Structure 1
Amino acid sequence: MTKAAIDVSILGKSKPYESLPDTFILFFCTFDYLEKTLPVYTFKTICSEDNRIELGDGITKIIINSKAAEHEKNEKLKIFLEYMNGKVSDDEFIQRLERRIKEVKASEELRREYMLVNTIERDARNDGWKAGIVQGLAEGEARGSYQKALETARNLFAMGLSTEKIAQATDLTIQEVEAIALS
């Protein structure tokens, strides 16, 4: 769910945007998404040019990383992280959580809602993977085309063609062709 979708669901009709409460987006991961071995990663919107400037948009993203449970100093959070990793616990919070999970699984309406959210999340993740694959293929194709153009330019240069003709034939710049001539 995007920040805009969250805002729309919270903001009442005719209420000013400024009345929105702060938004916390939590990601519970059973893998170390950022590979820095922190149990919790917290992000706020910071200016890239000056990290002392915060946007103040009220958005906080928190990634909970269960794989770093042994590094967590807060005992309650450590128990929760261990629970995420499959460790059974008699902790009161974990027991309440277990009961709530059973209720959700038993409720057809809540189960459908959970599955819908899960499907949306999976679709978003798949779209991201697909976009990454398409981008990777495009970049690979572009690099391959460029390498082929360089190879063709070397061959044309060896045949005695002028720099201008080689640039025209290969779509390389004059400077790129001249660099080949100098190498």
Structure 2
Amino acid sequence: MKKGELYSRLRKTYIIFICTFDPFDKNFTKYTFSSRCHEDCGLSLDDDVYKIFLNTQGDRHQVSKSLANLMDYINNNEPNDDFTRSLQEEVELQRDDDGKRALYMTYNQTLMEMEEKGKIKGREEGRAEGRAELAKAIKKIMENMKLPADKAMEMMGIAKEEYPKYMTLL
């Protein structure tokens, strides 16, 4: 396959992220990226894949009036042109559909449960990492001061009921 043949077969692709914050702290309303090689910035794929980040808080002077209206609509849910009015009508239509509302609520509940499980897992992993780091410090104290494990843990202010957890890590 010759250079460019693969890309001529692919369709132009846009991946759009709508953010209610500025993801890159440059105050742009729109950030557009295309495929570049990380190791050699002069090398690009020319694959017509674009990633666009829309910042609803960005400077409106950089974008078209219709995009500015859309960003304003996302921020305050007040339609201010034909497109945002039609979008508002569709949103209301979807909200009023009981079947879709139930599906959305179930989906939203699933997302919240997944998020909570992720938080719990993250806390557990963080605690395990913290205990491992503390165990390293206990070992250093034991080696440097020639102390038994319980004395080293006592010096570090670890509660006695926590000793068995750290003993398994030493």
- Pairwise TM-score range, normalised by the shorter structure: 0.5 to 0.7
Q: Secondary structure at the match of 1:50?
A: coil
The alignment status of 1:137 with 2:123, answered yes or no, reads no
CA RMSD, 1 decimal: 3.8
After superposition, the C-alpha distances for 1:101-159 in whole angstroms (9 at most, x for unaligned) are 112222345445655665666566556655654554344333323222222222139xx
Equivalent residue for 1:81?
71
Point out which structure has higher relative CO (alpha carbons under 8 A, 6+ apart): 2
Equivalent residue for 2:160?
none
Shift in CA distance, 112/125, structure 1 to aligned 2, threshold 3 Å: same
Task: Give the drift of 1:94.
Answer: 1.1
Equivalent residue for 1:176?
none
Q: How is 1:16-31 mapped onto 2 (pairs within 5 angstroms)?
A: 21-31=11-21
Q: For the residues of structure 2 that align with 1:44 and 1:128, how far apart are their CA atoms? A: 31
Shift in CA distance, 24/118, structure 1 to aligned 2, threshold 3 Å: farther
TM-score of the aligned structures, taking structure 1 as reference length: 0.55
TM-score of the aligned structures, taking structure 2 as reference length: 0.58
Equivalent residue for 2:136?
146
Equivalent residue for 1:61?
51
Q: For the residues of structure 1 that align with 2:10 and 2:103, how far apart are their CA atoms? A: 24
Task: Kindly indicate whether the alpha-carbon contact (under 8 Å) linking 1:104 and 1:110 is maintained by their aligned counterparts in 2.
Answer: yes
Aligned residues: 142
Structure 1 runs not aligned, ≥5 long: 1-17, 158-170, 172-183
Structure 2 runs not aligned, ≥5 long: 1-7, 148-168
After superposition, the C-alpha distances for 1:26-84 in whole angstroms (9 at most, x for unaligned) are 22222334444332233444322112233456543322221225564432222211211
Task: Kindly indicate whether the alpha-carbon contact (under 8 Å) linking 1:66 and 1:81 is maintained by their aligned counterparts in 2.
Answer: yes
Match of 1:155 among 142, 145, 148: 145
Q: Secondary structure at the match of 2:138?
A: helix
Task: Give the drift of 1:97.
Answer: 0.9
Q: For the residues of structure 2 that align with 1:96 and 1:114, how far apart are their CA atoms? A: 21
Q: For the residues of structure 2 that align with 1:137 and 1:36, how far apart are their CA atoms? A: 36
Task: Kindly indicate whether the alpha-carbon contact (under 8 Å) linking 1:69 and 1:82 is maintained by their aligned counterparts in 2.
Answer: no
Shift in CA distance, 114/63, structure 1 to aligned 2, threshold 3 Å: farther
The alignment status of 1:38 with 2:28, answered yes or no, reads yes
Q: Percent identity?
A: 27
Q: For the residues of structure 1 that align with 2:130 and 2:31, how far apart are their CA atoms? A: 33
